[in-house]
Chains A and B, each alone.
Chain A
């Protein structure tokens, strides 16, 4: 907050710098013609230098520099890259390329109009493949990466999906007989006397259950409409009731493993990996986070959320700030990174799901990757995390009370509605 001080002088500096850049860049980048050598651009990465994703990107950068002569100045900023970007956006001294997940980019760059439209990049041919960037895979996630005007602000290279993880070695039959409906799912839990693990101290992890159930019941985009209702009364509507009652049954039925609402992350997911619980509703990072606790022979498998016609997904990708001085060079790199050979390492080295369906996902994420290919995608958290502090101030505190069985579905709807009305009054 203290960084907010005295914004006038940085602006003057920014204008001078922009002028300097404009002069130096005349006839190069900005008009799309072949740049004069030597050229370079700056990339602020969401990865730390020692992460496997950074290794893959480093290799891609080396190959890009070799073929194009463009030098890439990388700063491995880590996950807080966008928090560091915000003051830079104000001063104008911005990097030319950043990466992060779509919703974070939306919050930090799109909502304030500081992003570049990626339509042209999406329509560019991937070198040597005869297909555009959108066509090789990223186009599938368009709904997650467009701004209010329908223009893409991100070129995604990695996809994250959600599923109910389990040990395939312990429950082999589920691979062929996944419960199709919620009732089937509960019956399956009853049959096996199975427990669900949850790190309930993280409000957004607890919320996964109810948000998925609501999304499955109401369809795409409807949960966000409930949250955006200024009166908060939408939560008491009859069509919301069935999903909430299902979750109430889950909450009060003793299905959650002991400690789910009284531990500190990552205690419960570790217990799950160690075999003390059977199921874990989590994102596709679950295997990499828990594999150290999993015994040998643990097979990561994931059930789709019962009854859901779509799959919640998030994407990680590249974005270019509006005032980037070397935008064209950065965009050229994005296009080159979309080559199959460059992205492959994300699956084989970093063990992630890429946005290219022709790159096989790592074995432990195969079930999630299949869902991402077969079903329509809907935003993670149904997009509630783009509503400012709404999730953490309004939804999650009330919801954790509900999921831990302290309040009923009806009480949840009323209490959430009241808090939501107060929140929107404050944020109108």
Chain B
């Protein structure tokens, strides 16, 4: 909108500045409610979290100043570092897999009959609560569960999935639930591409991979880059899928499966007798937030291209 207003201002300057001033005023009036609400509900709490992170606080009594002490502790806290590593694993390795799978499905489904139905099936996990999917996923991988039965049927000796490889199971589950969403977005983007590009490429002897590389990728790049930013943000917020591996609603999942979101919950309201360490949890939230900002900025810089008009 800002761009539009600027454009108009430049075009209409000869007619006098009053219209542009009015427009600018209208712009301010129209955006002000959103800015105020955003400041109260997002910017304010974020700044307050930073302030709380400099203290020790149980949420009830007076805060005690700790300076950067919480941050120094975080850097030595094996549990937090492991949670941070898991967060990065989901973000980077998970992201890579989700997008590779999405592209592979896109390639496979582009010319497939019944592709809309297939897309709905892949998208299905997105309309179910993650907590329900997580419970189902856990039972699939239980000792003697469906996965074990399938492996045994093939003559393989199944590992103890939930006991020895729980994070891997969660990781695979996250990829399963998220891939459908990105396939749907990317497919909508490819559907906009006129068919004659592909027909021309076929006449020139280009195979599916070459068509993907020279037509699909360049023409959907702006969508891909937006999807990558969405993944970055949503992967750092993954919570309920992991949390549901905690057994009952009172229990936290094993620490080796925590990401930073579960870590923050564990330091505040989680567990049978919650820890109520709001200062420490705020410090870990700030570290997570700063990481998100850095990753999004880096990502946007790396994948920035001029969109191609067609």
How many residues of chain A have a CB within 8 Å of chain B? Answer: 53
Q: Is the CB of A112 within 8 A of B61?
A: yes
Whether, in the assembled complex, A172 has its beta carbon less than 8 Å from a beta carbon of chain B, the answer is no
Contact of A107 among B144, B160, B164, B276 (CB under 8 A): B276
Q: Is the CB of A1 within 8 A of B278?
A: yes
Digitize A198-217: 1 where CB-to-B-CB distance is under 8 Å, 0 elsewhere: 01111111000000000000
Q: How many residues of B sit at the interface, in one of the four size bands?
A: 35 or more
Whether, in the assembled complex, B255 has its beta carbon less than 8 Å from a beta carbon of chain A, the answer is yes
Please indicate the chain B residues that have their CB under 8 angstroms from the CB of A205 in the complex.
247
Give the distance in Å from the alpha carbon of A113 to the alpha carbon of B135 in the complex.
Answer: 39
Question: Which has the most chain A C-beta neighbours within 10 Å: B57, B60, B73?
Answer: B60
Whether, in the assembled complex, A111 has its beta carbon less than 8 Å from a beta carbon of chain B, the answer is yes
Give the distance in Å from the alpha carbon of A424 to the alpha carbon of B106 in the complex.
Answer: 52
Digitize A274-317: 1 where CB-to-B-CB distance is under 8 Å, 0 elsewhere: 00000000000000000000000000000000000000000000
Please indicate the chain A residues that have their CB under 8 angstroms from the CB of B73 in the complex.
426
Query: Which parts of B230-285 form the interface with A (CB within 8 Å)?
Result: 245-252, 254-256, 264, 266-269, 271-278, 281-282, 285
Give the distance in Å from the alpha carbon of A264 to the alpha carbon of B266 in the complex.
Answer: 20
Closest partner residue, chain B, to A85 (CB atom) = B60
Q: Is the CB of B267 within 8 A of A389?
A: yes
Give the distance in Å from the alpha carbon of A3 to the alpha carbon of B160 in the complex.
Answer: 40
Q: Is the CB of B60 within 8 A of A264?
A: no
Whether, in the assembled complex, A83 has its beta carbon less than 8 Å from a beta carbon of chain B, the answer is yes
Q: Is the CB of B48 within 8 A of A262?
A: no
Please indicate the chain A residues that have their CB under 8 angstroms from the CB of B269 in the complex.
80, 83, 86
Closest partner residue, chain A, to B273 (CB atom) = A107
Least Cβ–Cβ distance between A94 and chain B, in angstroms: 10
Q: Is the CB of A400 within 8 A of B142?
A: no
Least Cβ–Cβ distance between A78 and chain B, in angstroms: 9
Closest partner residue, chain B, to A404 (CB atom) = B163
Q: Is the CB of B248 within 8 A of A265?
A: yes
Which of B75-83, B197-205, B292-300 makes up part of the contact surface? B75-83
Whether, in the assembled complex, A258 has its beta carbon less than 8 Å from a beta carbon of chain B, the answer is yes
Give the distance in Å from the alpha carbon of A86 to the alpha carbon of B273 in the complex.
Answer: 13
Give the distance in Å from the alpha carbon of A29 to the alpha carbon of B273 in the complex.
Answer: 32
Whether, in the assembled complex, A33 has its beta carbon less than 8 Å from a beta carbon of chain B, the answer is no
Whether, in the assembled complex, B49 has its beta carbon less than 8 Å from a beta carbon of chain A, the answer is yes
Whether, in the assembled complex, A103 has its beta carbon less than 8 Å from a beta carbon of chain B, the answer is yes
Digitize A380-409: 1 where CB-to-B-CB distance is under 8 Å, 0 elsewhere: 000001101101110011001000100000
Least Cβ–Cβ distance between B196 and chain A, in angstroms: 52
Contact of A259 among B143, B164, B272, B275 (CB under 8 A): B143
Give the distance in Å from the alpha carbon of A3 to the alpha carbon of B49 in the complex.
Answer: 9
Q: Is the CB of A259 within 8 A of B249?
A: no
Least Cβ–Cβ distance between A285 and chain B, in angstroms: 11
Closest partner residue, chain B, to A384 (CB atom) = B273
Q: Is the CB of A392 within 8 A of B245?
A: no
Can you list 30 A-B pairs with a CB-CB distance of less than 8 A? Answer: A1-B49, A1-B52, A1-B268, A1-B278, A1-B285, A4-B52, A4-B59, A5-B49, A6-B44, A6-B48, A82-B274, A83-B269, A86-B269, A103-B273, A107-B276, A112-B58, A202-B247, A202-B251, A263-B142, A263-B162, A264-B245, A265-B248, A267-B139, A385-B273, A388-B275, A392-B255, A392-B271, A397-B255, A397-B256, A419-B78
- A-binding residues in B (CB < 8 A): 44-45, 48-49, 52, 57-61, 73, 76-79, 135, 138-139, 142-144, 160-164, 245-252, 254-256, 264, 266-269, 271-278, 281-282, 285
